[in-house]
Structure 1
């Protein structure tokens, strides 16, 4: 017999007995803990916890489990969510004209490495409609001309929000979607949109960043996955990685290495999100790997 499985995530002011009371509640309700992780932040004085468990008592309904835990949560002032561990979150991918991250995520999805459903791919260009068709995923072309007025941008973003509602999207992934989102859309996507960008030491912005990096002789190339906020590329960081490079590599080689790093970093961030391993801690994140 297969028992229903859940993932509980919570945060609260740090206090004695949190783990004891939560684990005790689960034991009393016929639940078996599969894995658990917790972290207490000394700076914010907040406590974070993620518990994956199965409900083995057939006499305890989902409704009763949630209602009883809500009572416990109220006494401890917990910020919590209880999710069905077998539910596959619905992810909408957004892309422009650079497709390595899109292609990588689609391959992982099709291979069963990424436990998601992808109901829609959105782009301001037509470059990847055939790729979407090869995975039997609806492709939505929402063009936005360079220098378009604010009204046109607002209308285009309204369609993005409409698609999110139509497809009951849990997460939006900007897989190299090269448009700056409006503050209004960033607010609508708060906590449920992930972006990827290159990370250089020193930092290079604007056109042809890898050519700039090559010109300055960088020795490290990296990528950062983060939550989308109104501050461009400055949202809470989820994952980062780097690769060493050297003087023998030209700009094209640096770009190829950068694409590989971006794919890996973004895939990790998306996987951790859909497995409910990421909890926000102010401007930072707690990631239970």
Structure 2
């Protein structure tokens, strides 16, 4: 259940700590998992990207326009390709090359940066690295990925090429929470677009990029508005 409320006119204003203290005995009585979130606070997010910048640029634009309903505090990347764009938006760009030898250190830097800035969410905006189980566990329910297929179909690498090989008539994109199982996490939002036999793999990639942007942006916004509840390997999304 998600309930949004405000104090009626003339009612005494309670601090968040007072609300939590007053509700705690009720929650204990019924064995509730619960939380209060002030709507005035925007969640703080970090974006991670590799060498495909469409989702990154879309999210930064939505952030600057106020639509995202979240504040981006930084961008981390295993490549230096988008430093200029990121810094133009006034955001810090953390370049952390990833090799088998540096992967653990790079992910530890991500987590340390998020902790330093009290961040709520890591968004993998086409970050083409598989996070370690340790990092995934540390970010349980706080890491969203965009996968360029309509999950559970075409998991893993080159899903548009997989879709082309199967001759599909629709392609899609899926935003999901990250778990230790690749592309298996609870799905938050999906989108589809019709294609034909005449479309090449490159055509599918171009068509799919618009889907990826809109699907990821919706998922990030809904998470930030506390509209997404985890329910096992599913989500409940309050629209």
- TM-score, normalised via structure 1 length: 0.78
Partner of 2:114: 164
1:142, 1:97 → 2: CA distance?
13
Find the partner of 1:119 among 52, 66, 73: 73
Q: Tell me which residue corresponds to 1:58.
A: 12
Q: Secondary structure at the match of 2:190?
A: strand
User: Cα deviations across residues 53-75 of structure 1 (Å, max 9, x unaligned)?
Assistant: 11232254433222111111111
Alignment-derived partner of residue 279 in structure 1: 229
Of 62, 79, 98, which residue of structure 1 is paired with 2:52?
Answer: 98
2:148 corresponds to: 198
User: Contact conserved, 1:96 with 1:176, CA < 8 A, in 2?
Assistant: yes
Point out the structure with the larger strand share.
1
Q: Is the 8 A contact 2:126 2:146 kept in 1?
A: yes
Task: Quickly say closer, same or farther: Cα 1:228–1:264, change in 2 above 3 A.
Answer: same
- Offset, 1:52: 0.8
Quote the Cα distance in structure 2 between the aligned partners of 1:143 and 1:181: 14
What SS does the aligned partner of 1:52 have?
Answer: coil
Q: Relative to 1, partners in 2 of residues 1:60 and 1:89: Cα closer, same or farther, differing over 3 Å? A: closer
Q: Report runs of 4+ in structure 1 exceeding 6 Å deviation.
A: none
- Deviation track 1:2-36 (CA, whole Å, cap 9, x = no partner) reads xxxxxxxxxxxxxxxxxxxxxxxxxxxxxxxxxxx
- Deviation, 1:154, is 1.2
> Any stretches of 5+ residues in structure 1 without a counterpart?
1-48
Residue of structure 2 aligned with 1:267, choices 217, 223, 226: 217
TM (norm. structure 2) is: 0.93
In structure 1, C-alpha distance between the alignment counterparts of 2:15 and 2:128, rounded to whole Å: 46
Distance 1:227 1:208, change over 3 A: closer
Partner of 2:2, secondary structure, is strand
SS of match in other structure, 1:55: coil
Which residue is 1:22 aligned to? none
Aligned to 1:88: 42
Classify the secondary structure of the residue corresponding to 1:143: coil
Contact kept in structure 2, 1:92 and 1:121, CA below 8 Å? yes
Larger radius of gyration: 1
Q: For residues 99 and 135 of structure 1, what CA distance do their matches in structure 2 show?
A: 14
The alignment partner of 1:230 has SS state of coil
Call closer, same or farther: CA 1:120–1:60 in 2, change over 3 Å: closer
Distance 2:31 2:192 in 1: 39
Aligned partner (choices 216, 238, 241) of residue 166 of structure 2: 216
Counterpart contact for 2:122–2:144, Cα < 8 Å = yes
Cα shift at 1:254: 1.1
Shift of 1:238: 0.8
Does 2:203 correspond to 1:253? yes
2:86–2:92 contact (8 Å) kept in structure 1: yes
What is the number of equivalent residue pairs in this alignment?
A: 237
**2:193 aligns to what?**
243
DSSP-derived class of the 1:98 partner: coil
Q: Deviations over 1:202-239 (max 9, x none)?
A: 94456544334334322110011110110111011111
